[in-house]
Amino acid sequence: MDIDDNSQRKVLIPIAYTMSLISGEMWVKEMLTGHPIRCVNAFRMEPPLFLRLCKDLSSKAIHEVLRLISSRKVKGLAHDIIRPYDPDFTGIPAKISTDTRYMPFFKDCVGCIDGTHIAACIPEPLQMPYRGRKGLPTFNVLAACDFDMCFTFVSAGWEGSAHDTRVFLHAIGSPEFKFPKPPEGKYYLADKGYPDRRGYLVPYPKIRSCIERSFGVLKQRWKILTKMPQFSIEMQIQIMVATFALHNYIRINSPDDPLFRVLEDYPNFIPSFELPDVHAVSNSENGVVICTEMKVIRDRIADDLWKARRNI
3-state secondary structure of 237: helix
Structural domain includes residue 1: no
**The pLDDT of residue 145:** 96
For the cut 70, the answer to whether the pLDDT of residue 217 exceeds it is yes
Question: Which range (7-16, 56-65, 164-173, 246-255) has the least confidence?
Answer: 7-16
307, 105 contact by CB (below 8 A): no
- Residue 282 counted as domain residue: yes
> DSSP code of 176?
G
Spatial distance between the Cα atoms of 245 and 251, rounded to a whole number of angstroms: 10
| 293-302 pLDDT tens trace | 777 777 777 7
For residue 93, being part of any structural domain is answered with yes
Of residues 142, 234, 226, the one with CA closest to residue 188 = 142
Nearest to 219 by CA among 195, 200, 201, 244: 244
Q: How many domains does the chain have?
A: 1
* Cα torsion angle, 260, 262, 265, 267, sign: negative
How much is the mean pLDDT over the chain?
A: 81
Spatial strand order in the sheet of 109-119: 151-159, 138-145, 109-119, 187-190, 200-201
Mean pLDDT of 243-257: 92
Q: Report CA Rg, the chain.
A: 23
76 belongs to a structural domain: no
When pLDDT is cut at 50, 70 and 90, the band that residue 64 belongs to is low
Residue 30 above 90 pLDDT? no
Report residue 73's pLDDT band, with 50, 70 and 90 as the boundaries. Answer: low
* Angular region, 112: left φ>0, alpha ψ -120 to 50, beta rest: beta
Structure confidence by residue, pLDDT tens digits, 34-58: 888 888 888 889 889 998 888 877 7
> Has residue 199 been placed in a domain?
yes
* Residue 161 resides in a domain: yes
Q: Which domain holds residue 134?
A: 89-232+268-310
Does 34 map to a domain?
no
Confidence tier at 12 by pLDDT (50, 70, 90) = low
99-110 per-position pLDDT tens digit: 888 898 899 999
| pLDDT for residue 17 | 44
How confident is the model at residue 11, as a pLDDT? 53
Residue 142 has pLDDT above 90, yes or no: yes
Average pLDDT of 89-93? 92
Q: How confident is the model at residue 158 (pLDDT cuts 50, 70, 90)?
A: very high
Per-residue CA distances from 35 to 21, 41, 47, 200, 255 (Å)? 18, 10, 9, 45, 19
30, 52, 196 from 42: Cα distances, Å: 11, 16, 43
Rounded Cα gap, residues 83 and 81, in angstroms: 6
The contacts of residue 96 (CB under 8 Å, 6+ apart) are 102, 103, 106, 107, 109, 147
Q: Are 195 and 309 in contact (CB under 8 A)?
A: no
Q: Are 229 and 240 in contact (CB under 8 A)?
A: no
Looking at residues 281-302, what average pLDDT do you find?
A: 63
Query: How far apart are the C-alpha atoms of 208 and 188, rounded to whole Å?
Result: 9
Tell me if 77 is assigned to some domain: no
Q: How far is the CA of 157 from the CAs of 200, 225, 234, in angstroms?
A: 23, 13, 8
CA gap 282, 164 in Å, rounded: 11
